[in-house]
Structure 1
């Protein structure tokens, strides 16, 4: 037996010990196509589909805008790190079932000794594992399907889709947004770059032809991991030189989020006062996102890599097919520029949320920090409930918002972790599934009351024990 076959057998044994998935217990409703509609077929969309299946919730649909599995998600497309940035030991999409986890999968293919040797998970191995997870658990994904608009109607949502270029409308009771880093906003591109021709600029969220940068001079803006990974990829592709521009005077090097990485804070984060959650988000933002040391070493080994600190771009223009830029009093010319500048949060920027974006409670609606701790960007994050559901800005005006769950980085201020990444899975996937289960159950309480009162046939009758019933002896005269 091959190691791979052994791994699959161990995974099958895990499912056997868990027992069969429950049958769908959610009553059908006329005119409803899906109980739960999951937007995004990446690691979290698949994990939710499996968790909902185990909770006995049927009629779950998962869509992804990518043409097929090879183009879905970030790991083989827009992600450019060599290793994941999180510890290898974190619980991921296996949901507490070790036989379905990365370690079991990896050890079966490469051995336990190899697993011990890796400090963090290689990106491409993680992609291979996720493909196995999806295929082994038979998670159906509807590719080439894009959500265009969520239209609230009476008691459910009408979902306007684009399927292989054609318009289609389906209905669902619950919507789960597992749609990645731009799912509640978009890619942030500094205005200095946004004014340049699109042929000269890309954001790290986009597909970039790095091979075309061979022999070219490249500028990268940003000081976090994605900027360093893009710079490294350009250098490894043969760029003539790469200049990376960081606004801070020193690189962020303190991973402040580790201060709250213990079970008490992690498990009870939603019960913290708003002021404390705000302070934690602000501390992280002010400290900066620290790139892993190996991402920095990946670029500094190149003599044609140049790091600019305390560097603010001023004017930038197109000049004879190149970029002419003024940066901190110096003049540079580049063939191409890459924005590794992160993402902005603004639900109103998402066309699929346009019908109700103004009704979503944001952090600025919920909490007013002291003036010296105000932050417009953090204030734009949605203020989410403990199951990552939208809340109403004004009570009673948009009660349907509680039926949209946000499993993307817009939940950071509320949840304290990068929602959608591995660190969020252990706590938040079960919490969201429990809430979906509760909401669907109580919404059909009349039907369940009838089912709970239904006639149940006896397993046996009195003949099964009649011969053993004690008969009192008659008293003597």
Structure 2
């Protein structure tokens, strides 16, 4: 997209700001009129953060700004990625555009001048916005980088969490970054560490026995240039499978097979049909049975790839999609891999597993202390017939996204850690990582942390109230009458 959109017709006068500088001026005025952010009201503790946020992608940035809106400023964000590369957008995400409708306000927290639309129009104009179908993936990353700049949270990049522990007074994070190994203390911790925050890529047990040179997972670095003139099989039925198949096709693969176990490719995005404020604001109040049933139904039904993503593949004559095609065996044949499938045999050069992520505590050794103590859904409720569902390993979170102890009293610090990542979906719905609900989730999280910090510091605030002596009246504003005459 170029700035010149003069050829795009529009019958509406363009009220858009003419530059990002003008947009930022409008946003600054919004904040000024609303007297935001308020002064920090939390009493400081020497060497202790009020809130540490692990992750500075969309969820971490939104949570940070939500905290600033309620006057909590003693925060810091830590992200293992370099600055400007947080999240999946420039790494394993390979779609051309986002799935979400462009009209969703995402992390804007109610500020019109903080939305993607405002950012886009400031650069390209209203007419260009009107003809835009979906948000280009890397343009969304550019927007998030702008969001970070204008909200200005304190972020420490290139810093990985290596361990987490705690006591009744707070949480300790061991970190490894540019300054070496450090330990940070915080009263509250938010894990805003993404889709793989409590696990990693799901690799079916069958594939762990196959030589790794023959396969890659869709959510790792893949040398697509090396697949030129090769035959590639992509396993999966969702957006990740389609995106990786398209990437291989566009990089010159000779043939790409998309192999799907299901009898039919999913066609209806059930989750999209439930996108309304009721589900965003009320999901966490449902019974355990209803929360599990809701998520399990969507998982069983399957989420289809976006329309434009599928066309990106099917426009290639060397693309083939086969349903009812599970892999039954794989055998090396020299430098190639022979696959026996439910639809027959095929020999390929490489396989891409588009099998998604899973909550898998073993893949997150830095969270070992949480894993050892936290209450899981299988400890409270399992939907009948789904004892082996991945959902059984999800943490059973409290109403404030907090981890709960499996055995009360063994880890009194655990409820100081809040899961604002994908693993919260079973307890809270899609308000921790998906664009539609991220603002509502961040504001609820910030409100709950505000209440917790105030309650813990009640004695301080009580003494502050007693000690407050700034007079409203000076005593010379009236003369007291001598009697009732």
CA positional deviation for 1:41: 1.0
CA positional deviation for 1:105: 1.0
Query: What's 2:418 paired with?
Result: 405
CA positional deviation for 1:386: 2.1
CA positional deviation for 1:315: 2.0
Instruction: Name the SS for the 1:405 alignment partner.
Output: strand
Query: What's 2:281 paired with?
Result: 267
Instruction: Name the SS for the 1:361 alignment partner.
Output: coil
TM normalised by structure 2 equals 0.91
Per-residue CA shift, 1:304-336, capped at 9, x if unaligned?
Answer: 001121111122244333322222263322222
8 Å CA contact retained: 1:187, 1:343: yes
TM normalised by structure 1 equals 0.93
Higher alpha-carbon deviation: 119-128 or 96-105? 119-128
Query: What's 2:28 paired with?
Result: 12
8 Å CA contact retained: 2:171, 2:416: no
8 Å CA contact retained: 2:160, 2:177: yes
8 Å CA contact retained: 1:204, 1:339: yes
Q: For residues 24 and 60 of structure 1, what CA distance do their matches in structure 2 show?
A: 11
Q: For residues 198 and 18 of structure 1, what CA distance do their matches in structure 2 show?
A: 56
Given the alignment of the two structures, is residue 65 of structure 1 paired with residue 87 of structure 2, yes or no? no
CA positional deviation for 1:348: 4.8
8 Å CA contact retained: 1:364, 1:379: yes
CA positional deviation for 1:230: 0.8
Tell me, which stretches of 5 or more residues in structure 2 are unaligned?
1-16
CA positional deviation for 1:28: 2.2
Given the alignment of the two structures, is residue 380 of structure 1 paired with residue 396 of structure 2, yes or no? no
Q: For residues 62 and 410 of structure 2, what CA distance do their matches in structure 1 show?
A: 32
Query: What's 2:42 paired with?
Result: 26
Given the alignment of the two structures, is residue 422 of structure 1 paired with residue 438 of structure 2, yes or no? no
CA RMSD of aligned residues (A): 2.1
Query: What's 2:9 paired with?
Result: none
Q: For residues 208 and 368 of structure 1, what CA distance do their matches in structure 2 show?
A: 37
Query: What's 2:309 paired with?
Result: 295
8 Å CA contact retained: 2:167, 2:411: no
Query: What's 1:212 paired with?
Result: 226
Superposed, which structure 2 residues align to 1:35-434 within 5 Å? 35-66=50-81, 68-164=82-178, 166-328=180-342, 330-370=344-384, 372-417=385-430, 419-434=432-447
Instruction: Name the SS for the 2:467 alignment partner.
Output: coil
Q: For residues 165 and 244 of structure 1, what CA distance do their matches in structure 2 show?
A: 45
Q: For residues 368 and 154 of structure 1, what CA distance do their matches in structure 2 show?
A: 31
8 Å CA contact retained: 2:59, 2:432: no
Query: What's 1:462 paired with?
Result: 475
8 Å CA contact retained: 1:387, 1:428: no
Instruction: Name the SS for the 1:121 alignment partner.
Output: coil
Per-residue CA shift, 1:9-45, capped at 9, x if unaligned?
Answer: 2222222222242222222224x43111111111111
Higher alpha-carbon deviation: 325-334 or 212-221? 325-334
| Equivalent pairs, count | 469
Q: Say if 1:321 and 1:141 are closer, same or farther in 2 by CA, change over 3 A.
A: farther
8 Å CA contact retained: 1:192, 1:314: no
Q: For residues 443 and 237 of structure 2, what CA distance do their matches in structure 1 show?
A: 34
Q: Say if 1:418 and 1:93 are closer, same or farther in 2 by CA, change over 3 A.
A: closer
Tell me, which stretches of 5 or more residues in structure 1 are unaligned?
none
Q: Say if 1:80 and 1:55 are closer, same or farther in 2 by CA, change over 3 A.
A: same
8 Å CA contact retained: 1:386, 1:431: no
CA positional deviation for 1:165: 8.2
Q: For residues 98 and 87 of structure 1, what CA distance do their matches in structure 2 show?
A: 16
CA positional deviation for 1:433: 0.5
Q: For residues 366 and 349 of structure 2, what CA distance do their matches in structure 1 show?
A: 36
Q: For residues 269 and 473 of structure 1, what CA distance do their matches in structure 2 show?
A: 62
Q: For residues 437 and 405 of structure 2, what CA distance do their matches in structure 1 show?
A: 24
Instruction: Name the SS for the 1:180 alignment partner.
Output: coil
